[in-house]
Amino acid sequence: MSIKRNDIRHVAVIMDGNGRWATERGLPRIQGHRAGVAALKEIIKYSGEIGLEYLTLYVFSTENWKRPSIEVNSLMGLLIEFVEKELEELKANGVKLMVIGDLESLPRNVRASLERAILATEKNKGLHLSVAVNYGGRDEIVRAVKRIADDAASGRIDAAQIDDRMIESYLYTAGIPDPDLVIRPSGELRISNFLLWQIAYSELWFSNCYWPDFTPEDFQRAIDDYYRRDRRYGGL
């Protein structure tokens, strides 16, 4: 199946269940995250093949820093490994990489790796891949409000003109359409502080399988379910 013009444009995914996948197999949690990277690569590839315009992936939240340091360090290492190993393929497939989240607070080597990849793919015209790293929905909104307040206080904007469109322009996702569909595997039925502003009218799709077991077939099943829904945006 291919995505057609005026069809679904943006899918966001909460990649969940890596640790539990590993634990149930008697493996270290990092092996679950590594298996999750393999699944991630397949979903990115499939998204490009069907002509999806935007794919946003929840990789590391602001709350994930609470995990044991050995796991956090391993996750940061996996992120660098993925970016450096996959960059040429991303470029070849026309993928444009963007990172949403607080990059300034990331370890210097992680930030440098991501910034190189962003620069190397900035002119690509294919799939727009947004990776949410050190991202939190509430944090994003707070940052936007602070910037708006500063601009209003300095006279750069008129506070009376603040509306939803202006607020959107101050978010990490400025210029990106809101997700049509949010996918969360692993059996959890919550949003976990992900794109709180942007998913106000997104369709939600949940799966009981863990992320490392999530396949392009599952991804397509979610899209098919999306097409069977009636999006009314509060109307009739």
Place of tokens 């799966």: 207
Residues acting as catalytic residues: 16, 64
The structure tokens listed for 47 are 């998204």
Residue 231 confidence (pLDDT): 78
Lowest-confidence range among 6-15, 156-165, 191-200? 6-15
The C-alpha atoms of residue 46 and residue 1 are separated, in whole angstroms, by: 10
The structure tokens listed for 83 are 């970016």
User: Which tens digits make up the pLDDT trace of 94-124?
Assistant: 999 999 999 999 999 999 999 999 999 999 9
User: Which tens digits make up the pLDDT trace of 17-68?
Assistant: 999 999 999 999 999 999 999 999 999 999 999 999 999 999 999 999 999 9
What CATH number labels 10-136+179-227?
Answer: 3.40.1180.10
**Average pLDDT value for residue range 212-234:** 92
Residue 230 confidence (pLDDT): 82
H/E/C letters for each residue in the chain? CCCCCCCCCEEEEECCCHHHHHHCCCCCHHHHHHHHHHHHHHHHHHHHHCCCCEEEEEEEEHHHHHCCHHHHHHHHHHHHHHHHHHHHHHHHCCCEEEEECCHHHCCHHHHHHHHHHHHHHCCCCCCEEEEEEEECHHHHHHHHHHHHHHHHHCCCCCHHHCCHHHHHHCCCCCCCCCCCEEEECCCCCCCCCCCCCCCCCCEEEECCCCHHHCCHHHHHHHHHHHHCCCCCCCCC
The C-alpha atoms of residue 183 and residue 199 are separated, in whole angstroms, by: 11
Residue 60 confidence (pLDDT): 97
Assess whether pLDDT exceeds 50 at residue 205. yes
Domain boundaries, the chain: 10-136+179-227
